[in-house]
Amino acid sequence: MLMALVVVTALGFDFTNGFHDTGNAMATSIATGALPPRIAVALSGVLNLVGAFLSFTVAATIASGLVQTHLVTPTVVFAGLVGGILWNLATWFLGIPSSSSHALIGGVIGSTIAAAGGHAVQWHGVTSKVIIPAVLSPVIAGGIAALGTYLVYKITQSVPQEQRKAGFRIGQIGSASMVSLAHGTNDAQKTMGVITLALIANGSLHAGSKAPVWVIVCCALAISLGTYIGGWRVIRALGKGLVEIEAPQGMAAESSSAAVILVSSSFGYSLSTTHVATGSILGSGVGKKGAEVRWGVAGQMATAWLLTLPCAGVVGALAYYAAHGIGGTAGVSAIFVVLVAASLGFYLRSRKSAVNPNNVNAEWSGSIAPGAAGLAAQPA
Amino acid sequence: MSTSWINLDALWKIIVVGLLLGAGLPALFAVGLRALSPAASATVATESGAGAAPASASLLGRVIAVLCFAIVLAAIGWGVYKIVHPN
């Protein structure tokens, strides 16, 4: 029963990871009209599903190098997931693209500290594998996207506008697809790793086991369903809020994201797709002369990124204290109920300023909320 | 060379390969688009005194474009391969 709750919660996190990150691949294509919104999220969902099955090298390594895994119990994993899910929901509600990976890692670190104390965390690993890459990767991605954007505009400046737009829209589909594929591979594995970790901690699997097939299938489905639902609020923030994007910028941004994510992972760095994608989009704004970049919005996102690890950690720790305090399966069940209630709360509250496929491209007027006309647009 | 905090060796490799693929491929795609565009190649042609604008891209333009797009597709194929067989 306890393990069932942990697994369901993990799949719930995977689902939130899916809709939070749809925008990383598809926001630019939706914003420029390269793909109609519903088709974009469907394509991304399918590619995430495919990507999740392509490679299984992560196993239970999500937490290794970050916390001492022999000190992790299923309740610790559960509490960590609660921290990650609640942070994901909060940032989704506010329309801030934030790293689901960091939310998960933060949550697990928080619950591990609550369970076993600060010495159970391998701070050097956290700094060198999570924090430093998180700072460097958006800058690198931004630089590459800026250069790519500059080059594509320069090279095609004598190409007629319509032809250029049409050509780069096709290019956008290709580059956005690569990001979706890479995301499916990277991020589904994180949840697979967490579930495997919980199974090992519970004694259901030997230490060092690979993820069982049912775990792989469930995680693949959860992340692709989440992707298909589409975090429209985040898509809107990335596609309209940061930079007014044109097709060439969109292609350069997604190409940069795909390249950085794939090359880094071949060197063993599992980056946050959100950090990379946001950095790339900003870079594509910088690379085009006269492009409007809303640095204020970027600053808000950066602040949220700084807060992710600690906030998810605090929630993870609180969830652990509560669940462990009540004790056993009853404790986990109680917190599970709280989690579901909170999730419902976020969802219902979000309906007042609902962003959907019909208003996701509405003019940016300073916040996620699409404005009166936009709110009146109901999905078909 | 690396410190215990940053693997500088991996870092510069990531930057270089990232630039080649992340900026180079879009640039190559752009070259292909330009080669396909009759108006763009017409500008070049009339500037070099070759005559009136053609109705569609020249043969050379199309060959260049196919080459560029083929390289881009090959790179995408390599990317998928890296996903399936990471080292």
What are the residues facing A243 on neighbouring strands?
Answer: A293
Please determine, for residue A206, whether its predicted confidence score (pLDDT) is greater than 50. Answer: yes
Residue B1 forms part of a structural domain: no
Task: Please tell me the distance from the alpha carbon of residue A282 to that of residue A138, in angstroms, as a whole number.
Answer: 9
Q: Do B83 and A260 make contact, defined as CB atoms within 8 angstroms?
A: no
A46: Cα separation from own chain's centroid = 17
Residue-range definition of the domain harbouring residue B47: 8-84
pLDDT band at A357; cut points 50, 70, 90: confident
Question: Could you give the dihedral angle defined by the CA atoms of residues A41, A218, A258 and A157, in that order, rounded to the nearest 10 degrees?
Answer: -10
Helices B24-36, A247-266: inter-axial angle, 10-degree rounding: 140
pLDDT confidence of residue B52: 52
The average pLDDT across B26-30 equals 94
- For chain A, domain boundaries: 2-356
pLDDT band at A371; cut points 50, 70, 90: low
pLDDT band at A368; cut points 50, 70, 90: confident
Query: How many Cα atoms within 13 Å fall on the side-chain side of residue B34?
Result: 19
pLDDT confidence of residue A189: 85
Q: Using alpha carbons only, what angle is made at residue A253 by residues A249 and A256, rounded to the nearest 5 degrees?
A: 140
pLDDT band at A60; cut points 50, 70, 90: very low
Please determine, for residue B78, whether its predicted confidence score (pLDDT) is greater than 90. Answer: no
Q: Which residues of A touch B44 (CB under 8 A)?
A: 158
Residues from B in contact with A at Cβ < 8 Å: 4-7, 10-11, 13-15, 17-19, 21-27, 29-31, 33-34, 36-37, 39-40, 43-44, 72, 76, 79-80, 82-87
Please determine, for residue A94, whether its predicted confidence score (pLDDT) is greater than 50. Answer: yes
pLDDT band at A63; cut points 50, 70, 90: low
Element (H, E) at B26: helix B24-36
pLDDT band at A266; cut points 50, 70, 90: confident
Q: Do B31 and A256 make contact, defined as CB atoms within 8 angstroms?
A: no
Q: Which residues of B touch A174 (CB under 8 A)?
A: 72, 76
Domain tally, chain B? 1
pTM: 0.89
pLDDT band at A186; cut points 50, 70, 90: confident
Please determine, for residue B44, whether its predicted confidence score (pLDDT) is greater than 60. Answer: no
Task: Please tell me the distance from the alpha carbon of residue A89 to that of residue A94, in angstroms, as a whole number.
Answer: 9
Q: Do A128 and B23 make contact, defined as CB atoms within 8 angstroms?
A: no
Q: What is the pLDDT of residues A124-178, one digit of tens each?
A: 888 888 899 999 999 999 999 999 999 999 999 888 888 899 999 999 999 999 9
Residue B74 forms part of a structural domain: yes
Q: Which residues of B touch A34 (CB under 8 A)?
A: none
Q: Do A259 and B84 make contact, defined as CB atoms within 8 angstroms?
A: no
Q: Do B39 and A159 make contact, defined as CB atoms within 8 angstroms?
A: yes
Q: What is the pLDDT of residues A338-351, one digit of tens each?
A: 999 999 988 888 88
Residue B44 forms part of a structural domain: yes
Phi, psi dihedrals of residue B81, rounded to the nearest 5°: -60, -40
- Which has the higher per-residue pLDDT, A256 or A211? A256
pLDDT confidence of residue B68: 93
Task: Please tell me the distance from the alpha carbon of residue A60 to that of residue A216, in angstroms, as a whole number.
Answer: 12
The average pLDDT across A94-111 equals 91
Please determine, for residue A25, whether its predicted confidence score (pLDDT) is greater than 50. Answer: yes
pLDDT band at A220; cut points 50, 70, 90: very high
